Every structure is written in structure tokens, then in C-alpha cells.
Amino acid sequence: SRQRYVLGDTAMQKMAQSHVFLSGIGGLGVEIAKNIVLAGVKALTVHDTKQCTKWDLGINFFIHEDDITGQRNRAEATLHRIAELNPYVHVAASTVPLDETTDLSFLKQYQCVILTEVSLLLQKKINDFCHAQQPPIKFISADVYGICSRLFCDLGDEFEVLDTTGEEPKEIFISNITQSNPGIVTCLENHPHRLETGQFLTFREVNGMSCLNGSTHQITVVSPYSFSIGDTSDMEPYLHGGIAVQVKTPKIFYFERLEKQITNPLCLVADFSKPEAPLQIHVAMLALNHFQENFGRRPNIGCLQDAEEMLKIAMSISETLENKPQVNGDVVKWLSRTAQGFLAPLAAAVGGFASQEVLKAVTGKFSPLQQWLYIDMLDIVTPLEKMESEEFLPRGDRYDALRACIGDSLCQKLHDLNVFLVGCGAIGCEMLKNLALLGVGTGRDKGLVTITDPDLIEKSNLNRQFLFRPHHIQKPKSYTAAEATLNINPYLKIDSYINKVCPATENTYSDEFYTKQDVIVTALDNVEARRYIDSRCVANLRPLIDSGTMGTKGHTEVIVPHLTESYNSHRDPPEEEIPFCTLKSFPAAIEHTIQWARDKFESSFSHKPSLFNKFWQTYLSAEEVLQRIKSGESLEGCFHVIKTLSRRPRSWTQCVELARVKFEKYFSHKALQLLHSFPLDTRLKDGSLFWQSPKRPPFPVKFEFNDPLHYDFIVSAAKLFATVYCVPFTEKDLSEEAILKIISAVKVPDFRPSNKVVQTDETARKPDHIPVSSEDERNAIFQLEKSILSNEALENDLQMKPISFEKDDDSNGHIDFITAASNLRAKMYNIEPADRFKTKRIAGKIIPAIATATAAVSGLVALELIKVVGGYPADAYKNCFLNLAIPIMVFTETAEVRRTEIRNGISFTIWDRWTIYGKEDFTLLDFINAVREKYGIEPTMVVQGVKMLYVPVMPGHIKRLKLTMQKLVKPSADKKYVDLTVSFAPETDGEEDLPGPPVRYYFVQEDN
């Protein structure tokens, strides 16, 4: 379901009818196979003629030791493991030779052909065949050689895409349209339109200039808040309202054959600091292909003679290309030195990208790559320049392919590494696969991978969390992932936990725990957890690599002590909250009605029942409560609790009746009350209409039993009321006739207008407590007495069953209720409704997800991990942002850590920490003096977390100077130190205090 949110149903259906052919099940081929099978094509044929070797264990996560001893073909060995990923995909293996003499007509049964590890001559021949078919067979070729990778796409002369970005069409609320040529449309203030010139919009609900409604116009952007739409001078004058909706228009993409593209390549630039790099790698990889054709082999590892030969070939190739690009000697040399090697994480990154291109080819969804993508890892090998060539030679183990690229010393460092991976979801699974292939945590005496995840596996995880299978559902993610990772590399040492990493688990994930880790990798789905772990890494001077995805978008960020900024150094703007008055009375978009329905669910079925239970756990009987309120005591929440108790439904019939009464209250009385408070002709002080865009006047909904939406609301609400009030019901109770019989007899209360004030201020927040009047209190006493007398306040009556919202269990009725309630409210306000699927995404705050982006992002993280382990300089690290839909992949340098000046040349960065060693009778004054003596500046304020230890202007704080640090901080017995924040007096009065670095105060001198 998470992938449906990325691709949409039409693309999913097209994909489920497509047949794909993939040749070469090496490290790159298996990545592509994994991703497209998880995505759900109809059938995949995996083709390979090679036998499994020891070498494959370090690059192909589906080849095991027994495949080598059994001398199996790579396609046959991996077949059942690929097929197991998705029971809906038919996976077949082919082992027949594919060469220049092969009759290619067998390819006509496929919609897409992918080639890896195929010679360039054969690639050209197959591409020509595919391009010539009607319709053309979509052609993709991809390769990873050592530190370089190449991806090429040819989707035919003309390829139509219906949706180039996959973004939701934008809706813009209009505040004005001029009568002019061109007409200028202005949006509501503070709501930028975020449109681009050339896009198309259609209009609706425009008052005055009504001939615009239903028409489509191409726009020209004038400013962030306005755009022009052509001549409006002959139209009626604009009055108010109106919504402009973006229209998605198909786009044709044009492709050339491989033969032509080789001489004049169209490349995607991934690193804008090196725009020339793609052409340089293009030349280097062509030189490698020619070298292979000339000598029947790849250049030998570290062989200078071969590198010289390849450089000569590159020079002559460059002359044959249209742009005659400059040859980069370093790229050619390193490609030659490492060409026999293979970087599995690079294959993961390119494999993720290539797989998305396959999905585009078979669905027509998103913009395809035009036409080449080149990525190199020169950053990884440049610092290895001075290493002896023996470092890179094979040792006959599973790491030979990696060793050929990064040398044995760096391999050993990876084996001895302690890594803490937080999260075993989609990125976590992919990361574990990358760590296993790199041999992280396999050292004889050192090295350990520690993982944690508090979640259990759910069905919706299976489309991208590839270590999990259907029989793992409801098992802990971390234990299952650990077990599955050992299948990839049985020598991995792995510790798995199921606790959340947060302040409550600092006994487990203590400072001592962090200092044992060499690097922390986060695979999380929320900002709060990232911020917390980042702060722990900064406090303990640990490197952190963070990443995340949302649909086809992804990011990676490297944080290295003393070199880079940390995650907390930059803050995204907070998510815009929907104003309380908009939710309560003035919704303008379907998101508002969905949030309203979600809030109603929370309040009726979770919050109120929880408060009810808490109240009756505090006060043990109804009689006790009655006695206390009669004697004038004010018991918090008692009015609402007694109201709930007196109205408690005790049968299925009463649950249905309650649902019917709620229908009337929510969807009829609410509208009547608003129109009573603000009649349709109400005007504001400036004479403008009250009910104008974005405010929409409500109209009461008349209950119709035969309307499916009305019926869905009654049934889903009644079922939830029955659950929270512990009322049993049967299948028979849910039948239409049973419901109709109850509904027909319900006495629905008539509408009585009230003089309640309706909140219209958008900045007002929801009130915490609504005051209870004395009449309400008297009423409560009467109702409670009545309940006691009629034996309806017994122990069982004082309990409810709160419901926790669960979006993924379709049988629980949670999303059914929210969809029905939201769409009824939308109908009441004349807002376009949303189907159950969209409602579930918004109400459940579901992050769309697809395996392609996850695989790409985790591959990039693992490449940065190699650099962190090697202790590389700051300029080697790269952050990345990608969006596979457009497609873009942008590498940027990490942000250099900022230095904060205090004064007199004293400065610090976020990575600095001052230390003071005390003793038992050390006072706060001693501490302040010690900081001054050691660091040359006197603190004027000392804070511990949120607790102010010393602020001179606070009453009584001067007296604290004589107190011992032990007494002030009150550490637990095992606490050796405390982290304090100090600040310093500004140079001139009236300015803010100057912040300082954290100061770690040890209660006693450490034995050094």
C-alpha cells in the first residue's frame, strides 16, 4: 500500500502486466532484480551464463557458500530467493548463451530489456533490435566497474509520460482577478502558488468572472503570489472566491539509440562542482570496453602498464566524440586499477536508480533519464594513492572484489568496526545487506553491528523491507533482520535490541555505549528521533550518517566530529498546523475535514474513554464521588465523566441510536448553528462578505438511509461506540434490515440555536479547559444520583475500552469511520471528497515509500561509511539529495563546522567540550573559578539541562555559590560526571549573555 501512494493505481496495473528480461545476475543485476520484483512486475526472466564463485559472496547477497561448492549457475542459484520476495511475480531463469550470433527474436515477448555485464558491441546490437520494434522494447543497460558506474536508457523515438513528477496537483485559493490583458490572478495572502510558467490550470467556484469556471489556461508566473492567464478584459468583473487547480499534461520524451548517443552523450550532472565529470567517465568507461575487446580481459589490478594502455585508448576515443572532451588521467588510471573490483554499495545506489527507470519504462509514470547517468567514487580512492599495489591484490576470500577497490587495510578497518544502526525498516534492511557485503563487524577480535527497532513486522512493510517475508509478520523487526543478515554473511557479529533510542533508555544506550561505537547510522522515519540521536553523537564525539526517503525522494547526510555541522545545526521550518477555527468551523480543503474526522475519532474513542478510566481509578465508587461533589469539592473532569456515564449505551440498539444522533449533530445542527451565527448575507466591518473564499458556507445534510455514505457513518460509528462501551454485537446486528429497524424508531432531537461564540481568529488555539457552569454542576449531581438509583453506576459501568488508532487493519473500521465522517463534512461544505485510500494516507500520516529510493539512499550511506572509517578529510564527504521521479541526483559538500567566538580570542565549535575535575567539597564558586583559571573566562550563568543552577539575577542564587556541586546537582550514586551549559557576561551591558560550550564536570578527579 505504501508504494501505491508513490506510483498510483494506473501505473501499478500497467506494471503488473509487464514482462521484463534482465541479463547478468552479478552484484548490480541482483539489486535491480530485487527492486523490480518487490515493486511488482508481472514476470521477470533472469539470465546469466556464469558460475558462482567465492568472489560473488562479497557482491551478490543472494549467493551463498553452498552455491559455490555446488558449482551452480548464478541465475539458477538466486532464482528462488528473488522469487520469494513477491509471490505475485513470476520469476524464471535462463542460462542459454547470449552473444553476437544469438537470434534476438525471443526478446519480442518483453516490454523492457535490461543488460548488465554485457560487452558494448552486444549492447549496441540488442539496443538496435529493441529500438526497431513496434512499439519499441524499452532498453536499459547498467554497469559497475571498480569505482565507476554507468546507466543508459533508450525508451524509443517517442515516449509519452502522463505524469512527469508524481506530485499532487496544486490547488490555489484566489483573492483577485483583474479585468485586463493579460488578466492577473492573485492568491490569498501568505499562500504562495509555487507554480511554474507554462503549466496549465483549470478554474472553479469563481464568483463574478464565472465564465472562467471549467476553463483551462496556460499561465505565466508574475510573482510568488500572482500569475497571468491571458485576456480577461471582456469578462464580467471578479467578485470573490475561486480555486485554480493545476492540470497535469502529458509530455513526450525523445530518445536516441546507444550507437548515436556514444558519440554525443546526453548526461545527467550529479555533482555541479564537477560538471565535466560525466563526459570524463564516459570516455574512461568506453576506453575500458575497448581494452576488454582488444585484450579479452579487464586491466590487471594495480598494473601501471595496463593503465598507460587504457589512457592511450581514452585519448584516441576522445577524438572520435563530437565534443572531444578532455581526458581525466586520474579517472582513467583509477578505473584501470580497480576495474576488476566491485563496490557493492555503488551497485546498490545505481541499482536503485536503474530499477526506477525500469518502472518508468513499463508504466509511463515519471520523467525518464535522458540518457546517461555516471557516478564515480574517486573521493574514496584518491587518499589511497600512496598504498602499495599488493594492498589491492586478491586473497582468495569473499572480500576480493572490495579489496581491489579500497585495499586490504581499509577492508580490515571495516571488519573491526563497531556500528550502531538505529532502525530496521526499509533503509535499515538495505543497510544491513550493505554492511554484510562489506564485512563490517566480522573481525576476529573486534567489530560488532548493534541494531535496534521497537516495531513488529507488518504486511505493508514487505514491499521494500526485503529481509522480511510473509511468515515473519508480527515478529520483531530487529531479531528477524539480524537472522536474515547472517544468511548473507554468516561471519557477521550482530547484537539486536527492541528498545527505542530515547531519553528513557539512556541506561542501555549510555555514554559508555556510544563511546564504544565507531559510527552511528540512523534509518529513522521521524525528525524528533534524529535530533535526539544527533545530540547524543555530538555529546560523545561520534560520527553519524543519516538518511531518509519519501516516495521517490531521498537524502543522505554525513556528520563527522570536528569537521562538519551536526543534524541539529539546521532546522526545517515547522509543519504548518491547520488553525483551530478552520478545523472547527471553516474547512476549505479535504485535508481539513480529514483532520477533523481524525480528531473526532481520537476524542470520542481514545481520549474520553482514557479520561473516564483514569477518573474511576482515582475515585473508586460513584457513591464516593457523589458525596464529595455534594460537599462542594471540585473534582477535575467529573462533569464530563458523569455525562458519559449517564448517556452510556448498554445495547447494540443504543449504539446505533447514538451514531444516528451524532450524525444529526455533526452534519446538520452544526451547519444550522453556523448559519444562525453568520447568516449568508453577513458582512465584515469593511463591507466585504463574511462567507467568501476561503470560508465556505455549510449546508445541513439531510439523513438518507439509502445513501451509502450516510449508512457507512452509522455502521462504523456504532461499531466503535460498541467497542469502547464493551457492548457485544453479532453479524446479524450489522444487517441492513436490523440497522434500518433501529434507525426508523430513533427520535432525533430538534435543532435549537444557541448563543455560543464561534471562534473566527486564525491565531487562536484550542482551549484546554471549557469552564463548567453551576447549572452543569447541579445537573451532574442529579444525573449521578439517577445512575446510582437505577444500578447503572456499578463496577462494570465505570470502565471503558479506549481504542488506539490503527490505520493498517482494514477490519477494525477506524479508516471507515474517518472516511465517512470526513466526506460527510466535505459534502456539508461543498468540498471535493476523498476516497478511502487518500483518506488513509492523510489521516494515518503515511509516508509513501518504494524500494528503489530506499536502495539508492542506503548504497550512498554505505559509500560514505567507507570514507568515515578511513578517516578521510572534510572535502571527501558528500551529502546527497535525489528524486528518482524527475530524475535528479545532487551531491554537495558537507557544511563546515562553525566556530563561535566568545571574546579575547576564545572560541569553540559544537564539537568542543570543556572539562573540570572537582572533589567532594567542591562548591559552585570553586567550579566558576576553575573554569576561569583553565579557560580564561568567567561564567556568569550555569545551567543543567532545563534546570538553572546559577543565574545571579534570580532570588537566592548568590547564596548557592557556597553550596557543593554534589548538593546542587544531586547525582545518582553511579554518576561520575554531569554535563553543564555555561554562558558569559556580554562585553557591553544590555546585550544577551554569550553562550559557551558544554562543560563536563567530574565529581572527583579521574585516575589517569
Amino acid at 799: Q
Q: Hey, how many other C-beta atoms are within 10 angstroms of the C-beta on 580?
A: 16
Numbers of helices and strands, H then E, in the chain: 32, 32
Considering Cα of 275, then 276, then 278, then 281, what sign does the dihedral take? negative
The CB density around residue 972, as the number of other CB atoms within 10 Å, is: 5
> CA of 89: how far to CAs of 19, 110, 356, 552, in Å?
10, 14, 17, 22
Category of 341 on φ-ψ map: left (φ > 0), alpha (ψ -120 to 50) or beta: beta
Is 267 labeled as catalytic in the residue annotation?
Answer: no
Render 464-518 in DSSP notation, one character per residue: T-TT--GGGTTSBHHHHHHHHHHHH-TT--EEEE----SGGGTTTS-HHHHHH-S
Distance, CA of 463 to CA of 18 (rounded, Å): 18
Residues 6+ apart with CB under 8 A from 943: 949, 951, 980, 981, 982, 983
With CA atoms as reference, report the closest residue to 47 among 117, 103, 134: 117
Signed CA dihedral, 500, 503, 505, 508: sign only? positive
User: How far is Cα 125 from Cα 721, in angstroms, rounded to an integer?
Assistant: 67
Residue 242, Ramachandran bin (φ over 0: left; ψ between -120 and 50: alpha; else beta) = left
Place of cell 533508450: 154
Contact 720, 820 (CB under 8 A): no
Helix 622-630 with 638-646: angle, nearest 10 deg: 130
Candidate list 581, 638, 655, 880, residue with the active-site label: 581
Distance, in Å, from the CA atom of 541 to the CA atom of 535, rounded to the nearest integer, reads 10
How open is the CA angle 931-934-939, to the nearest 5 degrees? 25
Give the sign of the dihedral formed by CA 512, CA 517, CA 519, CA 523: negative
Amino acid at 111: Q
Of 301, 345, 397, the residue nearest 54 (C-alpha): 397
C-alpha cell read off for 538: 555530538
Sorted by sequence, the CB contacts under 8 Å of residue 498 that are 6+ apart come out as 452, 453, 454, 476, 478, 479
- E strands, 518-564, are 519-522, 544-550, 553-559
Whether 42 and 888 have beta carbons less than 8 Å apart is answered as: no
- Residue 981 to residue 906: CA distance in whole angstroms: 16
Rounded-to-integer distance, Cα 69 and Cα 72, Å: 8
Would you tell me how many other CB atoms lie within 10 Å of the CB of residue 645?
A: 23
What is the C-alpha to C-alpha distance for residues 439 and 522, in angstroms, rounded to an integer?
A: 19
The backbone torsions φ and ψ at residue 841, rounded to the nearest 5 degrees and listed phi first, read -60, -45
Q: Please, where are the H alpha helices in 569-701?
A: 580-584, 590-602, 608-618, 622-630, 638-646, 652-664, 670-677
Query: Please, is 158 exposed, middle or buried when counting C-beta atoms within 10 Å of its C-beta (0-12, 13-18, 19+)?
Result: exposed
Q: Give the pairing type, strands 90-94 and 43-47.
A: parallel
Residues tagged active-site: 581
